[in-house]
Amino acid sequence: MKKLILASSSPHRQALLQQVQIPFTIRTEKVDESQVKTIDPIEKVKQLAILKGKAIPLMDETEIILAADTAVSYQQTIFEKPKNRTDAFQMLSTLSGNIHDVFTGVYIRSHDSEITFVEKTEVEFWPLSEGEIEWYLATDDPYDKAGAYGIQSIGAVFVKRIIGDYYNVVGLPVSRVVRALKEISFF
């Protein structure tokens, strides 16, 4: 019986794995994300997922490590978690009325194989008034999320449409992860 080790403390990733009834154990290590110097969003999420996944040792041959990293990107600029209210306002103003990309890098490792991929989802925001943005900034929702919004929470009201995997925007492209886990005989 294989054991999945989630190299993430993200409650959203945990909830997605629970939603599809995949048992897992959480094991995280502090990693120095500043080691990843690239500003290319696809390369960055891929390298960060690998960095997080390789930081976790495999304890025995039954373990499989799953690590991920998600970034919001507009015109090739990565929008991290906002530093403060002003930063969050700027991000949301920029995303207003525009289409941006959400990339999640996924790294899966067993004793004898590795799988790495990046999933992309396009998200279009409605045009937002200053009042709508201020209303949202008065909540706690935007401050711990890349791009200053959560599609799975209050930030959903800003989303006009998405092209791609909704769960990728939440933080884990769960259907593609399941297929990758099948590839390395987790199931």
Catalytic residue annotation: 69
Measured between alpha carbons, how far is 139 from 104 in angstroms, rounded to an integer?
25
Q: Could you tell me what percentage of the chain is helix, strand and coil, using 3-state DSSP and rounding each to the nearest 5?
A: 40, 25, 35
SS3 57: coil
Helix (H) or strand (E) holding 137: helix 130-137
CB of 145 within 8 A of CB of 93? no
CB of 106 within 8 A of CB of 173? yes
Q: Which positions ≥6 away from 175 have C-beta within 8 Å?
A: 165, 167
